[in-house]
Amino acid sequence: MGKKRIITKAEPGSVQADTKKQEAAILKKADLGIDEGKIYINSTYNNTIITLTDLNGNVLTGVSAGNVGFKGTKKSTPFAASKVAEALANRAKKIGVIKVWVIIKGIGAGRESALRSLAGRGLEFLSIKDATPVPHNGCRPKKIRRV
């Protein structure tokens, strides 16, 4: 059968220790006095990643669906995207960011739900921009088959 492992509280590499480190880093960034920022929503077919940066583009914090606790195909759902947005909005308020520019990228299912969840959490949108890459000529076609 195999040996049973006993996990003690707050091992050095445990999840509890990692979240305490993240909260300490967030509180340290709150001392910078940042009240405006940019939120990048990257929504793919497999995941939703939301990043908060300052106006220069320096990353303050980021959250993904896997980071919140979703696994596998559940990461690409609109529900997971809304939970990711809620987690990022809470972190943004701890840092002190209230006014945001939103840049949405990707074609996943969580685009609109993440945006609605951010709006519902009390963040003030200064602008919303769609930066999804669009191919303007496409791939090179296959060569002609000769028989």
- Report yes or no on 44 lying in a domain: yes
Distance separating alpha carbons of residues 3 and 1, to the nearest angstrom? 7
CATH number at residue 84: 3.30.420.80
The domain tally of the chain equals 1
Residue 58 lies in a domain: yes
Contact 80, 48 (CB under 8 A): yes
Residue 15's pLDDT band (cuts 50, 70, 90):
low
Answer whether residue 80 is part of any domain.
Answer: yes
In a domain, 21, yes or no: no
Range of the domain at 108: 32-130
Prediction pTM value: 0.77
Q: pLDDT confidence of 130, banded at 50, 70, 90?
A: very high
What is the helix, strand, coil percentage profile of the chain, to 5? Answer: 35, 25, 40
Phi, psi of 53 (to 5 degrees): -125, 165
